[in-house]
Structure 1
Amino acid sequence: MPIIAPTLGRRLPGELIFAAPRRFTALPRHGNCLSVERFRCLHTSPPLYRAPVEPPRPVRTNETRTKQRYSPRHTGSAAVSLIASAGLLSLFAGLFEPDTAPRDAPSNAPPDDRDPDLPRFRLSDVRKHDAKSDRPWVTYEDKVYDITDWIPAHPGGDVILRAAGGSIDAYWDIFSIHKSPHVYEILDQYLIGFVDSADLVDGRPLPEQIEDPFRDDPPRDPRLITMTEKPRNAETPLEELTASFITPTDLFYVRNHMWVPKVDDPDQHTLTVELLDGSTKEYTLNDLKTKFKPAKVTAALQCSGNRRKDMTTHAHKKTNGLQWNVGAISNAVWEGVRLADVLADAGFPLEQARAGDTEARHVQFAGEESYAASIPIGPALDPRGDVLLVYAMNGRPLPPDHGFPLRALVPGHVAARSVKWLNRVVVSEEESQSQWQQKDYKLFGPNVTDPDWSKAPAIQEMPITSAITAVKLGDWAPLPPETKEQNMSTQPNGNAEKTDRRSDTQVARSNSAGSAATPRGRRASVAGYAYSGGGRAIIRVDVSLDNGKTWDQAELIDDCAVQGPNQESPCSGHKSWAWQRWRYEGVIPLPDEPRGSRADARPDETKKGLEKEDQDHEDGKRCQTLLVKATDEAYNAQPEGYDAIWNARGNLANAWHRVRVCSECESKKE
């Protein structure tokens, strides 16, 4: 299961608290096990919680298991003694008796050569031990495990409980960390038997007997560009990305770490707010809508992995994670209530905290599916920070993929902090200990391939970025004068000499064509987006149609302007949280010869790239590279390339965006 520690209770010194379905006695932390990312340490150390009835089971090796039959603590007598202490003997007696009735195994079933000292269980037996059972069981492949003692020791215990009574196969497939040998060794500690052969086909349960955790996921627009199906991750399609300032809800990019929680009655959804002193207050969705003043914020959300594919391609190094193109960003109008107002109503001394008189340092968020993250307390307290608890998107209730019925919105920050399906908010002295806070969303230098996750802070505000999302080619046309000058070489003495770099044959052909000697290119309309975190406005977008030789400024579209009388601006919020759309029109110079043979070929062009350009020319095409870069109001600018900002996770890929444009050779001269 995922490395999750979403419990958001107040932690005493020397203790670490994880979510669990019932009360356990906290034990002191052990060594460096406070760091959630140390997965092996966390699982192999004594559990951070101990059940009040019995200690964790000892590890059984293969040698001892062959000498030891089914553990007495899992027999009916053990169950009777355990449950009798709770006064429920008559209700649960015999609950843990292994099924020893004769089997109706298929006559052609292969011989069962698994450990004969361990009992066999029908899947119907396993289903009795679901999350409501006092001793939950799961299956993995053909084995049965009693995970009662594992739940408090595993930081993803609440997710394991979702699989209780069935198979964990589908859940473990979500998280690659479980594909490690030491994790299987840990799981093997809780082995109690095997799935009966009568429920196996080719040694495994039938797929239809394994619960699909994604069975309740909603339908999606087929135009979304799917990166992964389960869990669903999908980009806004390129042609729709900046077609409108507000991204249509159905086309807003989807980033899910797990399944979409099913909510049958949103009116019964409850948000729990916990303060530093451990006091809590609950709010229904209706409470939030009726007790607090509503607020709107127009904001873009962007995944930290947006443009990761661009980094992988141009840094010529592998990056770990979904290879997003430029579509893991979208813009919407969000409506909800201010987090600060809710905290104040719950008893948090808001004005005192704004004056700096508070021990609070973070606000933690947790969602229904166990995702958890946190932000520093500052943005939550800032009246201009616009941190919301959101229940509507683009004028309608939140869709399931985007947090229905309630989510956090932390504008200007990485979207990973805007936790969806929100059910808990905690004011805390420490940040969230979840995997997504402690490990996934961090950044390291290009020399670091085996990072120490504790050495870097979690990503919060986003850096500046931009992208080209549309290029439309028009007619052939003469190049403008400033572009023609770039065809002239500069001599060492600094004097510009108008030297034609074309070969003698090409010059002769051009002269014979008369007016064709004038450099020509294709008219083009180029468009895209720019965005900077922290609410910093974009003040300039620079575009190059010739791979950086010349630059010009794009037109910034004033999407926040009021369009008519009695109309409101589509932009809401105290800062520039939305993206900035831009457009540019010009003439793309297309070389007469393949760039691989040109004297001005850039040194960073690889042999592979040159061979591709030569092939394009042989196919009767001319190609050019378009660039875009942006600057924000703090004069932050994008780096030129990826060599200096490459990182193994491929986070925050914000170098100049490059798009290769190819055109058929001009077939008819004007």
Structure 2
Amino acid sequence: MAPNVELLQQKHNLDLHHAPTGLIDAKDIGTPDAHVSRDPNITRLTGKHPLNAETPIPLLMDHGFITPNSLHIVRNHGPVPQNQWDNHSITISGLVNKPVTITMDDILQLPSHTLPVTICCAGNRRKEQNMIKPSIGFSWGPGGVGTAYYTGVFLRDLINEVAGGLKPEALHICMEGNDNTAKGGYGTSITVNRAMSPEFDVLIAYKMNGEPLPYDHGYPVRCIVPGCIGGRSVKWLSKIEVSTQVSQNPFQNADNKVFPPTVLSADQATEENWWTNPDYSVYDLNVNGVVAAPYHGSKVALDDLNKNITLNGFAYGGSNRKVTRCEITLDDGKTWKLADIIDKKSEGDRYASEHYGYDKSKYPESYNQTRYWTWVHWSIEIPIADLLGVQEICLRCWNETNSVMPKDLNWSLMGMLNNCWYRVKLHLIRDPTLSLIFQHPTTLPGDTTQLGNTLPGWMEENQAEATAAASAAAPPKKTLFSADELKTFTLQEVEKHISEDDCWLIYDNLVYDCTPFLEAHPGGASSILLAAGTDCTEEFDAIHSQKAKDMLTDYLIGKLEVKRQASPPPTPPSEMDQVETTKSIDPSSGVVKSYFDPRKWKKLVLQKKEHMSATIRRFTFAIPQDVSQDCILSLPTGLHLFIKLPEDINDTSAKPKMVMRAYTPSKVNTRTIEFVIKVYFPFNSVPGGKLTTSLDQIRLGETVDFKGPVGEIQYLGDGEFNIHNKLYHDIDQIGMVAGGTGITPMWQLIQAALQDSVKRPFMSLIYCARSIDEIIFYKELKQLECDRLRVRLVLSEVPDDGSWTGGTGRFTMEELQQYLFPFSDSTSRLAFLCGPDPMLTHCCLPLLKEAYGDNFCANSVFTF
């Protein structure tokens, strides 16, 4: 193929070698996106990281047809990769005649095309659905949409010219980016018909509005699927695979679905197999529209009833279907007024031809007249006198198939494709003159009114009123005693009740006898016993939900005596002072003492942090240097420690909200301890792990609070276990199933059992991970494998070079029967599980029950 000199020159002129750079927002400093320049005017919807953002409606309208790159909608599922033009590549494989890996310069050899395309998230306007009933998606307002001119090559040209075309049996084209989310690279698929048809213009783009793609928008290359929801336009494109099946990427099934309203929860969707049903996947956008102006909170004086007021907004749709009309009603649909659709695209085309090199004339007029990949803007003037007595303004839009926005909202579990009438409420006020206030359905962070204060959306206001009414009408929460009847206990009295047979604790100055609940506690009795006899308010709030707090009522026995003091109490000793008082040892005794204390928080210093993958970290903590050398770190095999941190690591208030979780260390030395922990960054509709995201921001030299040990499974050595206070002797075989970072307790157990000198049990480990890069202790496990330890590794994604000899796909009955207990049969065997809850609940435990029966699972299968 001859070099495309013109495009190669453009590459150098535009400096396609680098993503556009600029100022780094302070919000991104200290996050994995600290290299990404972002406009502070965007509205962030899911905290600092990853970025999911929309444009404030006034800004969106101010910029007209073309949305600036810096203000364009962003939907990220994880950290933004730091790709480079010169070493980025795309692998094209599967049912093509010539599988190939191409570079970015290779793409420049093909004819380029520039297309205006509106990208819109399927969750746009989801907050309205969440006001009716929470979905499992975060709350988008109406600004999750933007339009840009994208430059690139058609996907059909790339496959035909570079990969030799498709094989006849090809049905789907699967694409994946090289981002590292909690589920791996984001991926999805579209049909061959859409991908290869000249009617659909699927583009492999490397420029956006005449510039190299910004990092947030897929630098250096992404797919653009016009007319589809934004979730089909894969960013940071690195893999194209042609297949007979839809994409097997986790996001294909776990995202972008519209289920019937009878599917009420993610658990129900899983149990009833809704996720894998392709009939509920979302591809094309539906017709939708928004009233932009008058903006939320705008005030219009009624000082001249002869003047007009201008309403305007935008509308969009999918499937290359033209938006044909936008209508306004002032009487809930009895009559309608037709708005003007403004030819903003012509303005956009002129600007793009002057600044982006867009050449509309290179395409035949039949092409230009049959492409409707972008939004339209609409406008209508209404006499202000017509608004007197009007309670709301409603918008509905139509497309060329006469599909129309429905009057009422249709709720679904994921909150996708909400396109009911857009309703703006009107309120008559006297402030100081007679005026109208315009109130939109929902608001987002930063929305303010012209009155200078925050006005909630009318749906938010309705929800708040309904909640208050329900709270007022609800019967009072049950209590065992009235406030006057509650017995008063002193702190000294509560501190005496610290045993398994007599366990009291304090929460919010009330005293509870939790002894009857010890056996039923999901975290085991030891978790409660750690707090026995103490005020556990902070720790309880750091772990438990409101449901758990409500359960406390059943165990209420009294209230704490609160002594009033005339003068302020003395300053309590610092945490380090407390450490000093507990570490003293008689030097003459020569006895060492464990630094950890199950009833006191101890500080450790972060000594080292290693990135084992995009989301997995190895943290090494050390005893503070000023603590006596007679104190050592020790932990029984199988037990774990609580870690406590502020939920917001930057909260410097006197009492920041805390979060606390239990983790099993991977290695314990006398003065240092290691934890391998997966950082759950926010992704998809999940907000992310509170503790892990805070822990990832801790800097070297800073301290973290630990308490323990705690746990119900302890290996005593020589085939003996203490599990839930029951001894298990002479265990011959130990079968283990681990997923992800669930390997850490297994790793601890394996190392301890291989050191046994009297009785060394046989062990087997089935370890499931997404990819070979996410197998923790891969080399170490291979080195330890011997005649007494068998290791079976199962990957969701295997290397392309054909070198993988382990299991592939999901954990199956075949894997279980062949590898869980691969040694000779024995009656003295136990199985241990540790991994993500869905894996254990929906896969491992059902398979174990089917293979070994309920009795075996009840008595011989345990979960860390």
Task: Give the TM-score, by structure 1 length.
Answer: 0.53
Aligned pair partner of 1:657 in 418, 422, 447 = 422
| Maintained 8 Å contact 1:522/1:590 | no
Aligned pair partner of 1:578 in 374, 387, 399 = 374
Aligned pair partner of 1:230 in 49, 62, 66 = 49
Deviation (angstroms), 1:540: 0.3
Identity across the alignment (%): 31
Pair 1:637-2:404 in alignment: yes
Structure 1 residues 546 and 523, CA gap change in structure 2 (3 angstroms): farther
Structure 1 residues 524 and 435, CA gap change in structure 2 (3 angstroms): farther
Residue of structure 1 equivalent to 2:302: 476
Pair 1:462-2:285 in alignment: yes
Q: After TM superposition, list the pairs within 5 Å mapping 1:554-593 onto structure 2.
A: 554-561=339-346, 575-588=371-384
Moved more, 523-532 or 419-428: 523-532
Structure 1 residues 437 and 296, CA gap change in structure 2 (3 angstroms): same
Pair 1:377-2:186 in alignment: no
Residue of structure 2 equivalent to 1:308: 126
Which amino acid in the other structure matches residue 649 of structure 1?
Answer: M
Deviation (angstroms), 1:435: 2.2
CA shift digits 1:298-343 (9 cap, x unpaired): 1101111100012233xx2222211111011111111000111110
Equivalent-residue separation in structure 2 for 1:326 and 1:570 (angstroms): 30
Structure 1 residues 623 and 232, CA gap change in structure 2 (3 angstroms): farther
Q: After TM superposition, list the pairs within 5 Å mapping 1:217-616 onto structure 2.
A: 217-228=35-46, 229-243=48-62, 244-263=64-83, 265-276=84-95, 279-289=98-108, 291-313=109-131, 316-349=132-165, 358-369=168-179, 370-449=185-264, 450-451=268-269, 452-457=274-279, 458-471=281-294, 476=302, 523-561=308-346, 575-588=371-384
Which amino acid in the other structure matches residue 381 of structure 2?
Answer: E
Equivalent-residue separation in structure 2 for 1:564 and 1:335 (angstroms): 16
Select the structure that is richer in strand.
Answer: 2
Deviation (angstroms), 1:436: 1.6
| Maintained 8 Å contact 2:301/2:433 | no
Deviation (angstroms), 1:219: 2.7
Deviation (angstroms), 1:669: 9.1
Structure 1 residues 227 and 668, CA gap change in structure 2 (3 angstroms): closer
Deviation (angstroms), 1:446: 1.4
Residue of structure 1 equivalent to 2:453: none
Equivalent-residue separation in structure 2 for 1:569 and 1:540 (angstroms): 28
Deviation (angstroms), 1:589: 5.8
Equivalent-residue separation in structure 2 for 1:310 and 1:669 (angstroms): 30
Deviation (angstroms), 1:361: 0.7
| Maintained 8 Å contact 2:152/2:205 | yes
Aligned to 1:292, what secondary structure does the other structure show? coil
Which amino acid in the other structure matches residue 586 of structure 1?
Answer: I
Deviation (angstroms), 1:524: 2.2
Deviation (angstroms), 1:528: 0.8
Structure 1 residues 626 and 282, CA gap change in structure 2 (3 angstroms): same
Deviation (angstroms), 1:663: 4.4
Deviation (angstroms), 1:214: 1.6
Aligned to 1:438, what secondary structure does the other structure show? helix
Structure 1 residues 399 and 327, CA gap change in structure 2 (3 angstroms): same
Aligned to 1:378, what secondary structure does the other structure show? helix
Equivalent-residue separation in structure 2 for 1:570 and 1:224 (angstroms): 31
Residue of structure 1 equivalent to 2:848: none
> Bigger relative contact order, structure 1 or 2, given CA contacts below 8 A and separation 6+?
1
| Maintained 8 Å contact 2:89/2:238 | yes
Deviation (angstroms), 1:661: 3.2
Equivalent-residue separation in structure 2 for 1:311 and 1:521 (angstroms): 38
Deviation (angstroms), 1:660: 1.9
Unmatched 5+ stretches in structure 2: 1-28, 180-184, 436-864
Q: What is the number of equivalent residue pairs in this alignment?
A: 378
Deviation (angstroms), 1:250: 0.7
Deviation (angstroms), 1:569: 7.9
Structure 1 residues 667 and 226, CA gap change in structure 2 (3 angstroms): closer
Task: Give the TM-score, by structure 2 length.
Answer: 0.41
Aligned pair partner of 2:395 in 628, 631, 635 = 628
Deviation (angstroms), 1:476: 3.0
Unmatched 5+ stretches in structure 1: 1-210, 479-519, 593-621
Residue of structure 2 equivalent to 1:149: none
Aligned to 1:527, what secondary structure does the other structure show? strand
Which amino acid in the other structure matches residue 365 of structure 1?
Answer: M
Aligned to 1:454, what secondary structure does the other structure show? coil
Structure 1 residues 629 and 343, CA gap change in structure 2 (3 angstroms): same
Q: After TM superposition, list the pairs within 5 Å mapping 1:169-208 onto structure 2.
A: none
Which amino acid in the other structure matches residue 147 of structure 2?
Answer: N
Residue of structure 1 equivalent to 2:413: 648
Deviation (angstroms), 1:245: 0.3
Deviation (angstroms), 1:462: 1.0
Q: After TM superposition, list the pairs within 5 Å mapping 1:96-107 onto structure 2.
A: none
Equivalent-residue separation in structure 1 for 2:200 and 2:60 (angstroms): 26
Deviation (angstroms), 1:659: 1.6
